């Protein structure tokens, strides 16, 4: 339910900004009037949604788990944060929009993807006939940039940061695309080799951006930088000097261990964590320590019975015939430490604070 609301919310924001943006210029990629918005906005909304879902996957076992309420509240209340997590969210959303537009281009959802008519005169004519059209990814990039960057109407450092991170997301899609070649010609020899760019899994884009998230660059701007012309120049100069492949942020992240209703942070109490699993990655094996131990919480083991499908007869898609099986699974959760050991609790809290300061 919340997912659908989020999608409509995002689409609504897009449409609202499109209508109010006086700087919007119609070029050949877009038709005039509301029909153009309808054609692309459903793909843009679906793309943003895929970005959100990828964000949740990437941060499933982090203290910050890409909560929807935090993002909503940030956008709504004007208390928009400018930290590392915001940077990742903007990048993954922008990447999701670009990815989905490119993909839907291959489906035939849009007219003239990759074919720019004006240069050659005829619709789908000379350019397509003479030398073919450009890759769909170029189209996805242009439309994604127009839609997503249109949301940033400010002139301050936060807007510059978001525009930069949007660009990083689009570069992530291009950077992870795979160049694939096929030999053909006389007797199947390599007389002719034709290459094209192929979209990867969106998971690869997410993994790529997660790496960038860990190495995000913090930008220090002079305090008091407002909307004056001088500070605008300084902002532009600062951001232009940073590579378009690196995420940037302005603020440090808050303590995600603690609940913070003002920021919409639920804290890690009550979170599930992983322990003792086969084939878990190092990051996943340390989930309980990261979410519970380092946050001053204990780990509680709970057993539950679940009903799941088993002994299925699978086809390559759609309905399958399965039996219902019961099995007991063990899960781990973060809980407050017991009150009995007050002294241990206090000493551990002190050592925790000392670690935080370092």
Q: How far is the CB of 198 from another protein (least distance, A)?
A: 7
Which among 63, 56, 85, 59 is positioned nearest to 297, based on CA atoms? Answer: 63
What's the CA dihedral at 202, 203, 204, 209 to 10 degrees?
100
Cβ proximity of 217 and 165 under 8 Å: no
Among 312, 325, 329, 341, binds another protein (CB under 8 A): 312
Q: How far is the CB of 356 from another protein (least distance, A)?
A: 30
Pairing of strands 192-198, 217-218: unpaired
User: In this complex, which beta carbon is closest to another protein, that of residue 103 or of residue 249?
Assistant: 103
Of 85-93, 129-137, 158-166, 346-354: span binding another protein (CB under 8 A): 129-137
Tokens representing 320 are 């399958």
Of 31-39, 176-184, 214-222, 243-251: span binding another protein (CB under 8 A): 176-184
Task: Give the DSSP H/E element, type plus range, for residue 298.
Answer: strand 298-313
DSSP string, 10-36: HHHHHHHHHHH-TT----TTS-SSHHH
Interaction of residue 304 with another protein, rule CB under 8 A? no
User: In this complex, which beta carbon is closest to another protein, that of residue 117 or of residue 251?
Assistant: 117
Tokens representing 87 are 């940077």
Of 65-73, 148-156, 245-253, 306-314: span binding another protein (CB under 8 A): 306-314
Residues 6+ apart with CB under 8 A from 199: 99, 102, 103, 137, 173, 177
Interaction of residue 340 with another protein, rule CB under 8 A? no
Q: SS3 for 255?
A: coil
Interaction of residue 195 with another protein, rule CB under 8 A? yes
Query: Using CB under 8 A, which residues numbered 102 to 121 contact another protein?
Result: 103, 106-115
Q: How far is the CB of 52 from another protein (least distance, A)?
A: 16
Residues found in the chain: 358
The mark string for 130-149 relative to another protein (x by CB under 8 A, - otherwise) is xxxx-xx-------------
Interaction of residue 31 with another protein, rule CB under 8 A? no
The mark string for 203-242 relative to another protein (x by CB under 8 A, - otherwise) is x---------------------------------------
Q: How many residues bind another protein (CB under 8 A)?
A: 48
User: In this complex, which beta carbon is closest to another protein, that of residue 230 or of residue 319?
Assistant: 319
Interaction of residue 28 with another protein, rule CB under 8 A? no
Q: What is the CA radius of gyration of the chain?
A: 25
Q: At what angle do helices 157-176 and 229-240 cross, to 10 degrees?
A: 20
* Cα separation values, 15 from 41, 70, 96, Å: 8, 22, 18
Helices marked H in 177-218: 202-214
Q: How far is the CB of 122 from another protein (least distance, A)?
A: 10
Interaction of residue 5 with another protein, rule CB under 8 A? no
Tokens representing 154 are 């400010």
Of 37-45, 145-153, 191-199, 327-335: span binding another protein (CB under 8 A): 191-199
Q: How far apart are CA 80 and CA 158, in angstroms?
A: 9
Interaction of residue 284 with another protein, rule CB under 8 A? yes
Q: How far apart are CA 32 and CA 21, in angstroms?
A: 15
Among 24, 196, 245, 341, binds another protein (CB under 8 A): 196
Residues 6+ apart with CB under 8 A from 18: 24, 37, 147, 150
Of 12-20, 162-170, 195-203, 252-260: span binding another protein (CB under 8 A): 195-203
What is the binding site for another protein (CB under 8 A)? 103, 106-115, 123-124, 128-133, 135-136, 180, 182, 184, 186-188, 190, 192-196, 198, 201, 203, 278-280, 284, 312-319
């Amino acid at each position: 339910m919340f997912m659908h609301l989020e999608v409509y919310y995002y689409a609504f924001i897009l449409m609202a900004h499109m209508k109010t943006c006086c700087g919007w210029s119609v070029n050949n990629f877009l038709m005039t009037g509301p029909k153009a918005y309808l054609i692309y906005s459903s793909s843009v909304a679906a793309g943003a949604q895929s970005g959100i879902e990828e964000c949740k996957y990437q941060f499933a076992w982090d203290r910050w788990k890409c909560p929807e309420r935090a993002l909503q509240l940030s956008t709504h209340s004007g208390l928009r944060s400018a930290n590392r997590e915001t940077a990742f969210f903007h990048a993954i959303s922008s990447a999701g929009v670009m990815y989905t537009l490119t993909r839907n281009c291959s489906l035939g959802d849009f007219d003239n993807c990759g074919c720019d008519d004006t240069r050659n005169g005829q619709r789908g004519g000379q350019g397509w006939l003479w030398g073919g059209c450009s890759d769909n990814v170029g189209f996805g990039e242009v439309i994604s940039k127009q839609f997503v960057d249109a949301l940033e109407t400010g002139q301050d450092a936060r807007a510059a940061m978001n525009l930069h991170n949007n660009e990083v997301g689009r570069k992530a899609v291009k950077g992870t695309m795979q160049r694939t070649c096929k030999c053909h010609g006389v007797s199947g020899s390599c007389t002719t080799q034709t290459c094209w760019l192929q979209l990867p899994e969106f998971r690869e884009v997410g993994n790529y951006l997660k790496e960038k998230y860990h190495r995000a660059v913090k930008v220090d701007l002079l305090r008091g930088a407002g909307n004056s012309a001088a500070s605008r120049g300084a902002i532009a100069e600062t951001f232009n000097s940073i590579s378009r492949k690196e995420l940037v942020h302005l603020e440090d992240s808050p303590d995600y261990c603690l609940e913070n209703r003002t920021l919409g942070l639920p804290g890690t109490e009550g979170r599930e964590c992983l322990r003792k699993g086969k084939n878990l990655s190092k990051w996943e094996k340390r989930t309980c320590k990261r979410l519970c131990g380092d946050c001053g919480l204990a780990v509680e083991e709970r057993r539950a019975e679940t009903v799941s499908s088993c002994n299925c007869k699978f086809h390559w898609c759609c309905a399958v015939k399965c039996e219902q099986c019961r099995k007991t699974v063990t899960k781990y959760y973060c809980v407050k430490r017991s009150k009995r050991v007050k002294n241990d609790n206090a000493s551990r809290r002190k050592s925790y604070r000392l670690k935080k300061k370092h």
